[in-house]
């Protein structure tokens, strides 16, 4: 059981957490090649890495190839960014929760 908890803790420790932050279209930096999520007016979304943008279109590199999105169809643009608080929180809280759960099971089961 200790090996399973150690493996779970170790795998979560090296897992990183990302979140998406809404940005204005004019603030998108082309040089960074950021990962974007573009929400469109028809309630669909497209995720990918920014290839280029101009006054009329955004071009993203997705898993399926390149996607060209006209600006007039864009509802919202979100940029993917690393979240230090989520990473630290998950890294600390999940192993603690596993140990607490194990202690509860042992107490209820009469193992102590």
Task: Say how far apart CA 85 and CA 108 lie, in whole Å.
Answer: 34
H or E element that contains 11: helix 2-13
Per-residue pLDDT of the chain (112 residues; tens, 9 = 90+): 677 767 666 665 555 566 677 777 777 777 777 888 888 999 888 888 888 888 898 888 888 888 899 989 989 888 877 666 665 666 667 777 778 888 888 888 776 5
pLDDT at position 89, please? 63
pLDDT at position 45, please? 87
Q: Answer yes or no: do 92 and 45 share one domain.
A: no
Domain CATH for 53: 2.30.30.100
Q: Answer yes or no: do 22 and 12 share one domain.
A: no
Residue 103 near residue 95, CB atoms below 8 Å? no
Domain that holds residue 10: 1-17+84-112
Q: Answer yes or no: do 56 and 68 share one domain.
A: yes
Q: Which residues of 1-13 are buried (b: 16+ CB within 10 A; e: fewer)?
A: eeeeeeeebeebe
* Number of domains into which the chain is organized: 2
Residue 100 near residue 107, CB atoms below 8 Å? no
């Amino acid at each position: 059981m200790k090996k399973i908890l150690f493996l779970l803790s170790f795998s979560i420790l090296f897992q990183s957490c990302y979140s998406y932050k809404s940005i204005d279209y004019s603030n998108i930096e082309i040089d960074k090649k950021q990962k974007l999520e573009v929400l469109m007016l028809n309630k669909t979304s497209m995720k990918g890495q920014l290839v280029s943008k101009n006054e009329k279109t955004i071009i993203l590199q997705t898993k399926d190839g390149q996607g060209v999105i006209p600006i007039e169809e864009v509802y919202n643009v979100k940029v993917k960014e690393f979240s230090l608080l989520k990473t630290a929180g998950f890294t600390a809280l999940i192993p603690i929760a596993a140990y607490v759960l194990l202690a509860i099971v042992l107490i209820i089961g009469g193992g102590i």
